Amino acid sequence: MGAPGRLPDVSSKPFEEIVAEHGPTVLRVCRAVLGPVDAEDAWSETFLAALNAYPRLRADSNVEAWLVTIAHRKALDHVRAAARRPIVTDAPPEPPAGAGHPDGWELGLWEALEALPLRQRQTVAYHYLAGMPYRQVARIVGGTEAAARRAAADGIATLRRTVLKGELR
């Protein structure tokens, strides 16, 4: 029994629960694709857009895939904006307080991710951090499932070389 104007087959979970359940994963994905500073802007834009559209989301939707799809587009906006920005070689901008060093940064993993080509970063993030099957990853980034799998494998291989340097199996 829904109120007038609300379809019975739309989600009726309070959005607060959506943020609590999926916010951390979407943040990891944004950080992997964009780095720590732009990631927080992309996360905020993602969840504001999701909040807006949420009353129309069908109850049987895969919420995390829906959020990662929105995050993917918001991150692309940032990537394009960064490409248009003039390159300043000296004195990189200071990250906002608290945003610069997410947990795990000291491991060098996030820097290593930043060094990957965009497509590899995206496929690694969506498959390994968001746990999406390659079929779904391909739907988000475009191209075939095989290409998505290959991009992620290449990305992981590079990460393994640059981060682990043979220390871990």
Partner 1 sequence: MTTDLFRALPAVDPEATHRLHQRLVEAAHAAGLLDIAYRTLDTPVGTLLLAATPKGLVRVAYASQGHDLVLEGLARDVSPRILRAPARLDRVAREIEEYFAGRRRAFDVPLDLQLSHGFRRTVLAHLPEIAYGTTASYAAIARAAGHPRAVRAVGSACASNPLPVVVPCHRVVRSDGTIGQYVGGVPAKELLLTLERPA
Closest-CA residue to 78 (of 24, 28, 41, 27): 41
Q: Which is nearer to partner 1, 90 or 106 (CB)?
A: 106
Size of the site for partner 1 (CB under 8 A): 42
Q: Does 2 bind partner 1 (CB under 8 A)?
A: yes
Site map (CB under 8 A) of partner 1, residues 110-129, x = contact: ------------------xx
Q: Does 66 bind partner 1 (CB under 8 A)?
A: no
Q: Does 3 bind partner 1 (CB under 8 A)?
A: yes
Determine which residue in the list 7, 9, 21, 55 makes contact with partner 1, applying CB under 8 A. Answer: 55
Q: Does 52 bind partner 1 (CB under 8 A)?
A: yes
Closest-CA residue to 75 (of 153, 141, 150, 148): 141
Least distance to partner 1 from the beta carbon of 9, Å?
12
From 38-46, 69-77, 83-91, 141-149, give the range in contact with partner 1 by CB under 8 A: 38-46
Q: Does 51 bind partner 1 (CB under 8 A)?
A: yes
58, β-bridge pairs: 10
Chain residues in the site for partner 1 (CB under 8 A)? 1-3, 6, 10-16, 19, 23-25, 27-28, 40, 43-44, 47-48, 51-52, 54-55, 98-99, 102-104, 107, 109, 128-129, 156, 159-160, 163-164, 168-169
